Amino acid sequence: MDKLAKRCFDIVLSALGLILSSPLWLIFSAAIKLADGGPVFYGHERVGRYGRRFKSWKFRSMVPDADRRLQAADRDPRVTKIGRMLRATALDELPQLWNILTGDMSFVGPRALVPEEIEVKGGGELVSLEKIPGYEIRGRVRPGLTGLAQIYAPRDIPRRQKFRYDALYVARQSFCLDIRLILLSFWITFRASWEARGEKF
C-alpha cells in the first residue's frame, strides 16, 4: 500500500471520525467526570515509528490513582463501571483518533508499545521487548488503532508470537487488508467483545 495514500486515508477517516463521534465525547466525558471527579483523559507515553515517542490518549477507564495500585488483572478492581463498557467496546480509544490525525498513529498497524517495556519469560527471566525477534520490523510502520495482532492474537500469548502477526502485516499490508481489519474492528466493537479478542472471526 502506498504510504502517501495510507496517510491521506488516515487523515480523512480520523477527521470524519472525530466529527461524527463528538456527541459520544460529550457523553463519556460527563459520565467519567460525574463518576469520581477525576480527569477525563489518560495520556501515556508510547513508542511509534522508528522509535519516535509520543503521548497516546484514551478516555480514563480506571480509578485516578490506578498507576500506584496492583498490576492489571482479568477482573481488575481498578476499572470503573463506565470503564468496563468503554474497554469492552474499545471506545476508550476514541481519543486516539487525534493521534492518527496528527500522524503519531495509523488506523491499522502494530499496537503501540510502552518505552523500555519488558516481558517475563517462562523461566521468570526478564527480557526487553527490543531484544525479541520482530521488534525492529514492526517499528518500520506507524502503530495502529487496530491490526492483525489486536484482532487475532489471544491476549495472553508471548510478545514473540504477537510480533509475528505484526511482521505478517508489515509484509502484506494493502488497502484491502486495512479495510478488512477496520470492518472487523467495528464488528467487535458492536459485539462489545474486545476484552475477549483472539477469537477467529
Question: Per-residue pLDDT tens for 69-127?
Answer: 444 455 677 889 999 999 989 999 999 999 999 999 999 999 999 888 777 665 556 77
Any idea which residue has 515509528 for its cell? 49
The Cα 161–Cα 121 span in angstroms is 13
The Cα 139–Cα 123 span in angstroms is 27
b/e code 156-165 from CB counts within 10 Å (16+ = b) = eeebeebbbb
8: phi then psi, degrees, rounded to nearest 5: -60, -40
pLDDT at residue 201, as a whole number: 38
Where do the structural domains in the chain lie, given as residue ranges?
3-191
With residues binned 3-state (H G I as helix, E B as strand, rest as coil), the percentages for the chain, rounded to 5, are: 50, 15, 35
Question: Per-residue pLDDT tens for 5-41?
Answer: 999 999 999 999 999 999 999 999 999 999 888 999 9
pLDDT tier for residue 129 given thresholds of 50, 70 and 90? confident
The pTM score is 0.85
From the CA atom positions of the chain, what is the Rg in Å? Answer: 17
Q: Is the pLDDT of residue 65 over 80?
A: no
Question: Per-residue pLDDT tens for 136-161?
Answer: 999 999 999 999 999 999 877 888 89
